[in-house]
Chains A and B, each alone.
Chain A
């Protein structure tokens, strides 16, 4: 387990996305203070932590959706708050948890809205847009749903459509806020396998996941966040996921064994009552 040390502001040309001393919150309700974090380039970073520890808030700040009270998010060494929003949106995409599809919208229309940061008043739709939308739909496996209404899709299909919209944005860095929420276990793994493919293709992914075992299995870099937005541990899953950490973060006694399928650490919760 490696303790995250405070990042010096003038780090050498390191990784593209860096959070530097962030203080986050809604109104005057603070969620995190002094949060520093580096997203390794080309990693599949997964953020874990108990409810209300600021995981989603951190992701929103990284995506420039939420302005930090203090500190800054650096993209390629420059604060994202000082850059035009559309320029940031061409580098960095977010699959937001709160996104909602307008009624009566088709899959193709929704996915094509991911092209907004690449468009302008004059250049409202170009062949590049068409190519990107077609590729994104094929990649997420929703090409055959193109003319369907989003309202009539299943939960699993809908999440893949939102992922396709984020892919149409053509960003190297993709942030995913609890992408598996509300999906059954089959569709959860389907989506995570898709993310693993994107990671293998060279995307940098940052996801918030609830399931520790899924996080440990798919992440190349794990960040454990405690309430108050403290980074408790970060590094490869095998180093981060320990019985002590799980008990410290979640108050859960457990054993950590090796997942026979992937070799990743696997958390087995202990029971408080005796076995029958």
Chain B
């Protein structure tokens, strides 16, 4: 029997570097490397193509600060921050989804399911109504709304521990209620606010500069290592609370900590790019399937999320010139196709 995860068998070798002793999953490592290469490829396309095509040499010059002012403006002011924001937001969503899917033991879990995204939308619409004029201010509104919704879902689902199944059920209910509140707020809002809110709700990367890329990068520099360190507890946690407890992991505090990290990642992403659909759902599952592992690996999910969002943004900008589409429309389209395929393939695989 050679299952796809046979490589993770109890082979006797370990990779040792000083005090570090690891067992890398060969196929996951290979997948991560391939995703990193693809991400670099997407970045090259994003930087070189567009209304003003540039050569690789010009890009390198611009990064070293020795390009002509025009090229320098296109690369460092227009294309680079947008690319970085997209990749970082994608990575944040990928890890956020991977944590939630493991916690909920459900491949359909994502920040949309636990009520975060609809809460963020309510916050953003409220921010527009209160006269927010910058992307960052709207982002702060979204961050507040999403966090409040996620905390409310957790507290409503809490009964001797916030068990994963209840989290998903309560999340769906709260999401549905908030979606109707959002629709109501938009119909009652003045026209220009309604249009701005609607555009934000699709999620996009238009007009993103260093002011957007830098906060996301700073947040990820803290949250990604936290996710990787705390994420080790997922291995025992996935076996159930009692089994986890017997392995020395306190289930409820660990689950709460991982949920906080997941929501924080989704919050950072949503505040920067709006509720970009389906990346958090699809990236972990795609990474998991490519690696043939039982659980989405966090680094693979981060790279897959970054690639999905960066590549989707290139598609959204280049395929629909001169009016670039919000990236959320592309990811939603791709995500819908993926979800259908996932379900169909899953049904065919099972007797």
Q: Are B5 and A104 in contact (CB under 8 A)?
A: yes
- Does B246 have its Cβ within 8 Å of any Cβ on chain A? yes
Asked whether A147 and B14 contact (CB < 8 A) given A96-B243, A100-B240, the answer is no
Judge whether A99 and B240 touch: CB under 8 Å: yes
A63 touches B245 (CB 8 A): yes
A211 to B19, CA, bound (A): 49
How far is A84 from B250 in the complex, measured between Cα atoms in Å?
10
Cα of A206 to Cα of B232 in the assembled complex, Å: 29
The reply to whether A112 and B247 contact each other, CB–CB distance below 8 Å, is: no
**A147 touching B21, Cβ below 8 Å:** no
**CA–CA, A111 and B239, complex, Å:** 11
Q: Which A residues are CB-close (under 8 A) to B294?
A: 102-106, 109
Asked if B11 is at the interface (CB within 8 A of a chain A CB), the reply is yes
Residue from A104, A146, A166 in contact with B10 in the complex, judged by beta carbons closer than 8 Å = A146
Q: Are A88 and B240 in contact (CB under 8 A)?
A: no
Which of A84, A97, A169 lies in contact with B242, CB distance below 8 A? A97
Cβ contacts under 8 Å, B160 to chain A: 26-27
Select which of A90, A94, A134, A137 is within 8 A of B12 by beta carbon: A134
Query: Are A113 and B235 in contact, CB atoms less than 8 angstroms apart?
Result: yes
- How many pairs of A and B residues are in contact by the CB < 8 Å rule? 141
Instruction: For the complex formed, measure the closest distance between the CB of A220 and the CB atoms of chain B, giving whole angstroms.
Output: 23
Given A86-B248, A99-B243, is A111 in contact with B10 using a C-beta cutoff of 8 Å? yes
Among A94, A104, A137, which residue has the most Cβ atoms of chain B within 10 A?
Answer: A104
Give Cα A77–Cα B241 distance, bound, in whole angstroms.
26
Size category, B interface: 35 or more
Cβ contact within 8 Å between A124 and B23: yes
Nearest A residue to B288 via CB reads A104
Bound complex: CA of A97 vs CA of B245, how far in Å? 13
Partner of A96, one of B11, B20, B105, B242: B242
Q: Are A125 and B21 in contact (CB under 8 A)?
A: yes
Residues of A within 8 A of B9 (CB): 106, 108, 146-147
Chain B residues whose C-beta falls within 8 Å of the C-beta of A175 in the assembled complex? 246
Which of A60, A85, A88, A134 has the most CB atoms of chain B within a 10 A radius of its CB? A85
In the complex, B8 has a CB within 8 A of chain A:
yes
B249 at the interface (CB under 8 A from A): yes
Docked Cα-Cα span, A131 to B14, in Å, equals: 11
Give CA–CA (A121, B21) in the complex, Å.
9
Contact code string B221-261 (vs A, CB < 8 Å = 1, else 0): 00000000100100110111111011111100000000000
A231 to B213, CA, bound (A): 64
Smallest distance from the beta carbon of A257 to chain B beta carbons, Å? 37
Majority secondary structure, B binding face: loop
How many angstroms between the C-alpha atoms of A96 and B236 in the bound complex? 12
Q: B13 within 8 Å of A by Cβ?
A: yes
A92 vs B248: C-alpha distance in the bound complex, in angstroms? 10
B14–A109 touching, CB < 8 Å: no
Distance in angstroms from B7 CB to nearest chain A CB is 9
Q: Provided the pairs A96-B243, A109-B5 are in contact, do residues A102 and B105 lie with their beta carbons within 8 angstroms?
A: yes
Please indicate which of the listed interface residues B10, B21, B229, B245 has the most CB atoms of chain A within 10 Å of its own CB. B10
Complex Cα gap A27–B239 (Å)? 23
Closest Cβ–Cβ distance, residue B169 to chain A (whole Å): 18
**Inside 8 A of B1's CB, which chain A residues have their CB?**
147-148
Q: Is A12 an interface residue (CB 8 A)?
A: no
**Cα–Cα, bound, A117→B244 (Å):** 10
Q: Mark A157-172, 1 if CB is under 8 A from B, else 0.
A: 0000000001001000
* Residues of chain B lying within 8 A (CB to CB) of residue A169: 246-247
Instruction: Tell me if A64 counts as interface (CB < 8 A to partner B).
Output: yes
Q: Does B22 contact A (CB under 8 A)?
A: yes
Q: Known: A124-B22, A169-B247. Is A96-B240 also a contact (CB below 8 A)?
A: yes
- Chain A 58-84 interface residues, beta-carbon cutoff 8 Å to B: 60, 63-66, 84
**B232 cross-chain contacts in A, Cβ below 8 A:** 119, 121, 124
Alpha-carbon distance A94/B246, docked complex (angstroms): 6
Please tell me if B295 contacts chain A, counting CB pairs below 8 Å.
yes
Pair A60/B249 contact, Cβ less than 8 Å: no
B14 touches A88 (CB 8 A): no
Cβ proximity bits A119-132 to B, threshold 8 Å, 1 near / 0 not:
10111111101110
* CB within 8 Å for A106 and B5 given contacts A100-B240, A124-B22, A133-B10: yes
CA distance A207 to B13 in the complex (A): 35
Distance between Cα atoms of A73 and B106 in the complex (Å): 36
Are A88 and B248 also in contact (CB < 8 A) when A99-B240, A100-B239, A127-B12 are?
Answer: yes
Please, which residues of chain A bring their CB within 8 A of the CB of B248? 84-90, 116-117
Closest to B102 in A: A102
Q: Is the CB of B246 within 8 A of A65?
A: yes
A130 / chain B contacts, CB cutoff of 8 Å: 10-14
Residue B69 lies at the interface, judged by CB distance under 8 Å to chain A: no
Residue of B nearest to A65 (CB): B245
**Given A96-B242, A125-B21, A169-B246, 13 extra CB contacts under 8 A:** A60-B242, A85-B249, A87-B248, A89-B248, A99-B242, A106-B6, A108-B8, A113-B236, A116-B236, A119-B232, A124-B22, A129-B23, A147-B1
Residues of B within 8 A of A (CB): 1-3, 5-6, 8-14, 16, 19-23, 105, 160, 229, 232, 235-236, 238-243, 245-250, 293-295
A-B contact pairs, 13 of them (CB 8 A): A65-B246, A94-B246, A109-B8, A109-B294, A112-B10, A123-B21, A127-B12, A130-B11, A131-B12, A146-B9, A146-B10, A147-B3, A177-B242
